Structure 1
Amino acid sequence: MEELKSFYFKDDILYILDQRRLPHEEIYFEAKNINDVAYAIEDMLVRGAPAIGCVAAYGFYMGIKDGLDVDNVYNTLYHTRPTAVNLFWALERMKKACLNQKNLLEEAQKIEQEDIQANLSMARHGASLIKEKSVVLTHCNTGALATAGVGTALGVIKELHKQEKIDYVIADETRPYLQGSRLSAFELLKANIPHKIVVDSSAPFLISKGIVKAVFVGADRIASNGDTANKIGTFMLSLACKEYNVPFYVVAPTSTIDFNAKSFEDIPIEQR
């Protein structure tokens, strides 16, 4: 099976898989400058907090390479998406690297490689939490389409499948953008993982009936007290899991933690 990549960088062009066209078409958008990258983030050609951070890092490099000043580059990318803290983490890191006269392309590549390794570590650790073959549920899309590697929550599910611990996966639709039915199902199909798509509102019922043995979700931002912002619909899943004693796992890299946010009240929520 050919490896699924949400983006790749080659010959000073950032190729970004246009996820608006999935699952019907696999078309890569060619981002040749910082404005192309900003467009791709803002219009959701690329989505998923880790992937956004990686793409923004390459966009930062492209802006500086084209002769723009640091503040202009930073601000152009900063205002694209409000919730995914990985974006701001990556921009701060690239700005610091620029001021310290580091090689910016190497720094962007390092951010990508670190995410790939973090994905693998999370997948192995998360899979160790499930001891027997189970039905698991996931929300939104947290796989290769949302990261530089195998994924966060969906990465755990892929590892569980490798270890033959998956009976089948329940992917809820994740309205209104349908990241579950369009994107997670697309990834699960490519990976030959048994799965079923359900409407969002049915998920708590399935949890209540004991069908779901664990829920794995990702995160857009985690506050310093552990409060987590994720795709709309995550809250009802956490409440259902609490009520029926079903394990609920948030899978995210440390770059998703916002230590400046004390609680959920400090996390800006995107309205679209």
Structure 2
Amino acid sequence: MRDACIKMLSEIYTCDIIDANGAFEALLRWSLAYSRSKAVLKLTTANETGFSMEHRSNVTVADLKNTCAKYRHSAAKVIRLQSLSSLQPLVSDLDIDLKVMFLVRDPRALLVSLYGWVRNLTAVNKALERHSGDRSPAENSDYDIPMLNADFVKQYCDWMTLNFEQISNPADWLRGRVKILRHEDISFDPRAKAEEVYDFLKIGIHSDVTQWIQENTNAPLKARYGVMETRRNSKAMVYTWRYRTLFSEVEDVQRICSDAMAVFGYRKLDSLAELRNLSVPTIL
């Protein structure tokens, strides 16, 4: 998995695209890429028809490489990379001017989304069991939600501390290449954090970016937002987990993630009253 991830990143950053069909198939799995990407829309315009798999025979590898090469910067969101050290070949072997935004979130806030995912999956599996009268091992409806929470949170916090150590004591190749971002800081002041990121990258921030931030992080408040919804009230979303989590669960996370919370500046809560009182900060 790690080698495949690094190979994919190297192809993105060097525009070393070798399979046009594969590139198009990947884009079609991500609707935002082909509906909003200026690079993709330019290829679509060249074909004078809508963007679909029918065009894969019309667009060559050379077309994709040339389009990619026109852009000075390339970015990728990576969510399954265990260690920053895995990125070393991109710098040492390919001489890529790599910069990393290392994004973390309060592990206590992850509980709500994890509960929702597991409960939905459990409900589906139980429905399948009732319908078919049988189930495969992969359709196990007897999930132990608290145990899954503990395992998931421990893995996440171990990942946080592992990479914090690499950032705090960086190898020569990593020095000056990583900026830590906390989800909560971005939510409280997305404009300021965006400016920090662009400054770190030594890129001027475009007015389209600041306009998008203004329009999409100050949405009217509502009871619930969709999982993939892009327009939200970012400030209001920061502490919603504090109303949806049991204090006993918070205590468990604080015990499991004590080290991670300390190094990333997350304050522990000592009672149910503190959990529900939003004037009590959770960020140091």
TM-score of the pair, normalised by structure 2: 0.27
Quick check: which has more Rg, 1 or 2? Answer: 2
Where is the helix percentage greater, Structure 1 or Structure 2?
2
TM-score of the pair, normalised by structure 1: 0.28
